[in-house]
């Protein structure tokens, strides 16, 4: 395992980082660092001997947070902001049709499984819809809206 970044390197976190119970003095589940923020690598270590973990100092937040390598990108890599994040509930703002067959009706509830950012296509989401169990779809940002708790 070779570390991609070294001490002092500037990196950007690609996902919201929440307290998993290991950050003292902050309730579990509370947001520690918002996606898109820039920090500097302070230490490099491993977890379970198969994952590289970076201690990243986020100066604006005043926090030193452990991040997995897949949660970071280099400061010189393109960053495209997204409306939604992993595990966020969403709804379809249009009907989704595959090969002429309606698969996801307008207003269907879903959950974001992963976020991909492309310079040419923009942001697309791996989304699981309740009406299509076991078949996540790759959905453009424009086809999704926020799920309101009042939406039943």
Helices (H), 9-139: none
Q: In the numeric block, which tokens belong to residue 105?
A: 């009706």
The answer as to whether 93 is a domain residue is yes
The answer as to whether 131 is a domain residue is yes
Residues 93 and 54 in one domain: no
The answer as to whether 36 is a domain residue is yes
Neighbours of 91 (CB within 10 A): 18
Question: Range of 106's domain?
Answer: 89-146
Q: In the numeric block, which tokens belong to residue 52?
A: 């590289």
Phi, psi of 83 (to 5 degrees): -75, -35
Q: For residue 106, give the nearest of 67, 55, 50, 145 by alpha carbon.
A: 145
Interatomic CA distance for residues 79 and 32, integer angstroms: 20
The answer as to whether 106 is a domain residue is yes
What secondary structure letter does DSSP report for 148? P
Q: In the numeric block, which tokens belong to residue 134?
A: 């076991």
pLDDT in tens, 127-151: 999 999 999 999 999 999 999 865 5
pLDDT in tens, 26-46: 899 898 999 899 999 998 887
CATH code where residue 64 lies: 2.30.30
Residue 152, pLDDT above cutoff 70: no
Residues 68 and 95 in one domain: no
Last residue of a domain, one of 74, 103, 128: 74
The residue behind tokens 């947070």 is: 65
Higher pLDDT, 117 or 112: 112
What is the structure's pLDDT at 110? 95
Domain count, the chain: 2
Q: For residue 81, give the nearest of 40, 138, 122 by alpha carbon.
A: 122
């Amino acid at each position: 395992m070779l570390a991609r970044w070294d001490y002092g390197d500037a990196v950007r976190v690609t996902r919201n980082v929440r307290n998993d119970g290991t950050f003292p003095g902050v309730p579990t589940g509370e947001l520690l660092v918002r996606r898109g923020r820039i920090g500097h690598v302070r230490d490099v270590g491993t977890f379970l001997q198969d994952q590289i973990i970076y201690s990243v100092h986020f100066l604006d937040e005043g926090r030193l947070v452990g991040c997995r390598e897949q949660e970071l990108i280099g400061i010189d890599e393109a960053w495209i902001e997204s409306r939604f994040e992993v595990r966020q509930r969403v709804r379809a703002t249009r009907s989704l049709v595959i090969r002429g067959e309606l698969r996801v009706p307008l207003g269907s509830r879903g959950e974001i499984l992963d976020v991909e950012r492309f310079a040419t296509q923009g942001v697309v989401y791996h989304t699981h819809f309740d009406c299509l169990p076991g078949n996540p779809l790759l959905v453009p940002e424009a086809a999704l809206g926020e799920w309101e708790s009042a939406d039943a």
